[in-house]
A and B are shown apart, each in its own frame.
Chain A
Amino acid sequence: MLQMGRRGFVGRLLGLSGGLMAVPAAARAEETDFLPPSVPPWSREQGAGVVSPPYGVPSPFESAVVRKPREKPLFPTAASTGTPLQALHGIVTPNGLHYERHHAGVPAIDPDRHRLMVHGLVERPLIFTLDELMRFPSVSRLHFLECAGNTPQWQKIDPLWTAQDSHGLLSCAEWTGVRLGDVLGEAGMLPAASWLIAEGADAALLTRSIPLARALEDGILAYAQNGERLRPEQGYPLRLLLPGFEGNVNIKWLRRLKLVEGPMESREETSKYTDLLPGGRARQFAFTMEVKSVITTPSGGQALGPPGFHEIRGLAWSGRGRIQAVEVSTDGGASWQAAQLQEPVLSKCLTRFRLPWHWDGGPARLMSRATDETGANQPTRDRLIELRGANGRYHYNAIQSWQVASGGTVSNAG
């Protein structure tokens, strides 16, 4: 099994209670008092009552599983934090751990005072309350969201990076909302409309232009995430959700949709989120997040326990549809084995993969490469940089490697 450290139960208890109360009897106990044949104290007394707290939170023993920025941001309201992928299981990201990327902080929006305006090339400009939007037929779908800037390994590889640092601008949730087409249809789309401008209500009034036909394919206006209303960091009370698209166009705190003939060339789609190519030209409107994968266990910053059986676990996803296959290498790409995919394998959604592995205790280089249902697969980092240069900042989807040292420590090999 993987070990994050060598803290015992007693050490953890001391760490939690230190300074807050008199040292409890349990803390004076020996570690063996908790283990068979002894019976630990929690088996001999009542635990906490119901509603403590009313909205449940993770065990205090999981306090290290949190979002964090890669480095301390100069402007905390214009920054990002990553999801701790290496500590999570399955495919659903807990709402409190969904990655963040804000351009003007998280606005505190009163939903009763929030409005969605639909205008431009429509028959009837309309304004909706949240209550009105929630009366439209609802849909729920599981989809990943990934920031276009995830995995910035174009220029350098930091051996200390964890999966949270390298791939953490990635999360997955069950989103519930209304079909974009239903709401636009209510206003009546005019034939000349071919682009959609979406704008947020945050102080950045973040704005993107999207080809209307693509947005209508499966776009939704989401008001809920994993069974509860959106978290403020995810756009409460309303966000645009365009499955498979780069995170930035999934406008949070959505306040306005405008149908137009052509893109508005906003700052976010010109000076940012464009891929500078060799020669000096740049790719624009690269909306789709291409096929990608990462091994989350074992991954950077972790340490393997004793040699023997270890399960390699990871995540694969594609903005073009379902994951068809994931291959894993433990020898730096010399040989590959097919990983098992956990059902359900859903379109534009995280897919969990696994491969049983017998670690002999020596050095190993772990890699994963995914193929999606269109046949697209991941390039090597060298190939990606050959194609796109090293000065792009977005849409990195190369094969990721983790180096296992002979002692079992794992570091980022890019």
Chain B
Amino acid sequence: MPGEAYLCLAILLAGVTPAFAGERYDLGRPASAAEVAGWDIDVAPDGKGLPPGSGSVAQGRAVFAEICGACHGLQGEKGDGKPIDPLAGGQDSLGGAKPLRTVGSYWPYATTLFDYIRRAMPFSAPGSLSADQTYAAVAYILYLNQIVPENATLDAASLPLVRMPNRNGFVPAPE
């Protein structure tokens, strides 16, 4: 029977094939939805991953006064790139002799700001800001760059809609 012959061949091959092509090693254990949710803090450019909550420019100014300003300055002006970058200014400077790379002049997505602050800031206590504080800090930094108005409040719905000035400033490198 051809079918039996193929079966025998398959068994023979399985016995001598070192790699488990297409098969599993049966290692690891299932990750629960709760476990994934605890670690998966990625925010995508379309806003996927943004948590509930909101924050205003005014609240962000207070967050800066209390927490961020010590390193970044109350207007986000401190730093020379080693390693702190100025957070605002520099728009339309990228093609000049002295480009100033800031959130407003260089960053292509506003969602990145939320993602980065949530995972790595403040430097002295990464991950310690609430979602509301994070939205507020994002709103304030965007306001400093004249990207949102002073009365703006940002949340999961509105943040992905923020259009960054340098959104089209990047080209993929050739492979």
Q: Do A and B bind each other?
A: yes
Chain A: residues with CB nearer than 8 A to chain B? 73-75, 78-79, 103-104, 117-119, 124-128, 132-133, 135-137, 182, 185-187, 197, 199, 203-207, 214, 255-256, 258, 260, 262, 264-267, 270-271, 274-276, 278-288, 391
- Whether the Cβ atoms of A391 and B108 lie closer than 8 Å is no
With a CB–CB cut-off of 8 A, which chain A residues contact B148? none
Measured CB to CB, the closest approach of chain B to A176, in angstroms, equals 17
**B35 CB contacts on chain A under 8 angstroms:** 117, 127
Residues 136-175 of B, flagged 1 when their CB comes within 8 A of A and 0 if not, give 0000000000000000000000000000000001111101
Determine whether the beta carbon of B169 is less than 8 Å from that of A281: yes
Stretch at the interface among B9-17, B53-61, B109-117: B109-117
Q: Considering the chains assembled together, what is the distance between the CA atoms of A288 and B173 in angstroms?
A: 10
Residue of B27, B39, B112, B175 with most partner-chain A CB within 10 A: B27
Q: How far is the CA of A387 from the CA of B4 in the complex (A)?
A: 64
13 new A-B pairs (CB below 8 Å) besides A104-B120, A284-B171, A284-B172?
A104-B123, A125-B36, A126-B30, A133-B27, A204-B126, A207-B42, A262-B44, A262-B45, A275-B173, A276-B99, A280-B94, A281-B169, A283-B170
Tell me the interface secondary structure of chain B in the complex: loop
Q: Compute how far the CA of A271 lies from the CA of B108 in the bound complex, rounded to whole angstroms.
A: 8
29 intermolecular pairs with C-beta atoms under 8 Å apart:
A74-B84, A127-B28, A127-B29, A127-B35, A128-B28, A182-B25, A186-B27, A204-B119, A205-B120, A207-B42, A214-B175, A256-B40, A264-B45, A265-B108, A265-B111, A265-B112, A267-B116, A276-B94, A276-B99, A276-B101, A278-B95, A280-B99, A281-B94, A281-B170, A282-B169, A282-B170, A282-B171, A284-B173, A391-B99
How many pairs, one residue from A and one from B, have CB atoms within 8 Å of each other in the complex? 146
B 85-126 to A, binary, CB cutoff 8 A, 1 in contact else 0: 100000000111001010100111101100110011001001
| Chain A residue at minimal CB-CB distance from B96 | A280
Q: How far is the CA of A283 from the CA of B31 in the complex (A)?
A: 37
Using CB atoms, name the residue of chain A closest to B31: A125
Kindly state the separation between the CA atoms of A104 and B116 in the bound complex, as whole angstroms: 13
Instruction: Give the CA-CA distance A271 to B106 in the complex, in Å.
Output: 7
Q: Is the interface on chain B under 10, 10 to 19, 20 to 34, or 35 or more residues? A: 35 or more
Q: Are A124 and B107 in contact, CB atoms less than 8 angstroms apart? A: no
Contacts of A118 in B (CB 8 A): 28, 31
Contact A264-B99, Cβ < 8 Å, known A119-B31, A186-B24: no
Q: Min CB distance, B170 to chain A, in Å?
A: 4
User: What A residues does B169 contact at CB under 8 A?
Assistant: 280-282
**B83: interface (CB < 8 Å):** yes
Distance in angstroms between the alpha carbons of A305 and B114 in the assembled complex: 57
